[in-house]
Structure 1
């Protein structure tokens, strides 16, 4: 059932709050999370590393501001809402969690705005919160239903066993996961991720998601994880997770997806460990005799940090794709290239992207936020239509330009 439309009075009041949100939005979300995370059951649903670095608070502050700005016409919020819904499904957020969030958010607004939070303003924000909550709950219900009815699908947490651990590059390891119950698993959409419920010694309950780095299969998934300097969970995976270990996993989620039947040529632009969802897409297309032309553009520090290099060289040698590799620090020791592959020193220059722009192609981008912003801006400024630009953000959507698919 569609949510009840917002009243004109509520829309007017919410829009009038935009200057206050621009000035105090992060203060409100910080206060909200302080209240919300006092409940251990709710706290365990969140990635706490995003709380420590402030990323989650900034992401939510931006989302609330964007909602207020687009309250009359929420269509531009569609991609953001879809990302949030997919993330919630991965973390197994349920309708009964929304009252806790609403209570904490409304209390935070009242606390930060003080006397300015009149009864009329609080009533409007209550109505606006529950309208958006109902939109998310409805979309999340659809995704849960889809997961439940797919062959090998499931809802909630399912036990998986690490069947293989394999080093890919310096500080990068892949883990092959198979279901502990021995039954089949649902086919993921290339580009999606898995979410994990973990108990990390000395750090307690943790939630994380990692991109699937393999083509869809009915019997396994593969993750590829880079050890991050301050990463509690990535270091735990790297140092402790071995073959035979079991993990709690939710069904594949995420809106960064390769179409079932791609019609346009495909260009993959990745930086660092952002290569992981690209490999899932590349392996999928490589198995399809009717796949469109593929071009792979990847930036990493050096040959030591290049993951899946053997696969890329194999596919270029087989003429299934072309590739450009950029080594930002040192390309010495790089394996021999194959026809259709070029190796460069330095980062990917925006001039190179525009000079080699394929206006007929769909572009898929993943990597650090600065890399994402540069690549997306470069493509848009070069005139590539927004609908041909697709990207995945690791972490919270705290960058306004990326989170809203901004045109400028």
Structure 2
């Protein structure tokens, strides 16, 4: 527990963190990776270059300061981050390194404004926050290891099948190299792949949603091939997986993790996705189909066109055999072939008016995943159409962000 004076000092820094938070986190990462380059084996290099990781950390530090006297208010965010840390292999010994460089960054950015009193308060506060993460992550490591078929770090798997699903998405099926059973998972969860790319100095770890239902003897992920370059390296891992990883190859994988999961509900369900965001939605749909769909379910997927749209037939197989499920495919720019085959339900962007007509029950529970601009647009459209904010759940591929409500003019 923190003393009253420390809490007051931390809260007094909230306006400063709001203004200088990203400068502090950018400086923090630069200092830490300079002094501890081995940590580049854990952190996502692409998110660093894009600035998403720095922004996410700045938001977390700001929230911690704002709610330092009631940290339970940010428990959902803390839990989400802890799941990612466990999946990446973050350990207790990493926290002192992070704390040291966070304090150094605060000093460097704030200069004389970083008084001895402020530095002492933040050092105490970081200790409390770090202990909370370490404790929560230990429980997640223990839980992963104690599950039937589970493990607590990375485990070697074989690529048993590789299937091209569209022009840009390929599925990979993984089975444990030791032939033993694997842990079950909740629909919507992800796994981390530890990839050693020839010629690369550091290991790359990427998290991918599981795209099939639980209860199988394998894990399936479905990866979009990103067009990366030397200047924009986020395509390094996806290109390696698509171009180099072959059936029979081995790869290290962490146990399933994540808080964005299909919950128990009697409400109607909407599974809304854009692009490769279809993957966790597909896992949820398969699980609903396997366990018996009890309520009306709408599966809405947006893609540019049929060439890049993956799993259309897989979804149709489920909808054709279950009257409670209705699928809508929305193409931004359908091809001539799409139009000839009538392969889609809507042309152009999804609007609030279209959503309102497609889903009559505005009390539906909505699960959403896709590119950030897509989710932001859909979040605004859902609210405008009358869906309840508390019923909208979403997952980001990468560092967490916050979707905003549309601002009235």
- Is the shorter-chain TM-score for this pair beyond 0.5, marking a shared fold? yes
2:16 paired with 1:10: no
Shift of 1:40: 2.7
Matched with 1:240 is: 244
Write the deviation string for residues 359-381 of structure 1: whole angstroms up to 9, x where unpaired: 23211000001111222233345
Counterparts of 1:218 and 1:342, CA distance in 2: 31
Write the deviation string for residues 138-187 of structure 1: whole angstroms up to 9, x where unpaired: 21112111111111010111000000000000111000000000000011
Point out where structure 2 has 5 or more consecutive residues left out of the alignment. Answer: 229-234
Shift of 1:312: 1.5
Counterparts of 2:97 and 2:151, CA distance in 1: 26
Structural mapping, 1:61-72, within 5 Å? 61-72=58-69
Q: Does the aligned pair in 2 maintain the 1:28–1:112 contact within 8 Å?
A: yes
SS in 1 for 2:291: coil
Residues 333/76 of structure 1: CA separation in 2 closer, same or farther (3 Å cut)? farther
Point out the more displaced range, 182-191 or 213-222.
Answer: 213-222
CA RMSD of aligned residues (A): 2.1
Q: Does the aligned pair in 2 maintain the 1:155–1:251 contact within 8 Å?
A: yes
Residues 378/70 of structure 1: CA separation in 2 closer, same or farther (3 Å cut)? farther
Counterparts of 1:218 and 1:131, CA distance in 2: 40
Counterparts of 2:79 and 2:349, CA distance in 1: 32
Matched with 2:282 is: 279
1:207 to 205, 208, 224: 205
Matched with 1:343 is: 345
Shift of 1:331: 4.8
Matched with 1:296 is: 299
Matched with 1:84 is: 81
Structural mapping, 1:19-38, within 5 Å? 19-38=15-34
1:360 to 353, 359, 363: 363
Residues 179/291 of structure 1: CA separation in 2 closer, same or farther (3 Å cut)? farther
Counterparts of 2:319 and 2:379, CA distance in 1: 26
Write the deviation string for residues 223-250 of structure 1: whole angstroms up to 9, x where unpaired: 1000011111011111111100100000
SS in 2 for 1:100: helix
Shift of 1:31: 1.0
Residues 68/378 of structure 1: CA separation in 2 closer, same or farther (3 Å cut)? farther
Residues 344/221 of structure 1: CA separation in 2 closer, same or farther (3 Å cut)? same
Counterparts of 1:158 and 1:348, CA distance in 2: 41
Shift of 1:85: 0.6
Relative to the length of structure 2, the TM-score reads 0.92
SS in 2 for 1:64: helix
1:167 to 164, 187, 192: 164
Write the deviation string for residues 305-347 of structure 1: whole angstroms up to 9, x where unpaired: 110000122222213510111100115323856xxx9611012
**Aligned residues between the structures:** 397
Residues 407/290 of structure 1: CA separation in 2 closer, same or farther (3 Å cut)? farther
Matched with 2:215 is: 217
Relative to the length of structure 1, the TM-score reads 0.92
Point out the more displaced range, 199-208 or 66-75.
Answer: 66-75
Point out where structure 1 has 5 or more consecutive residues left out of the alignment. Answer: none
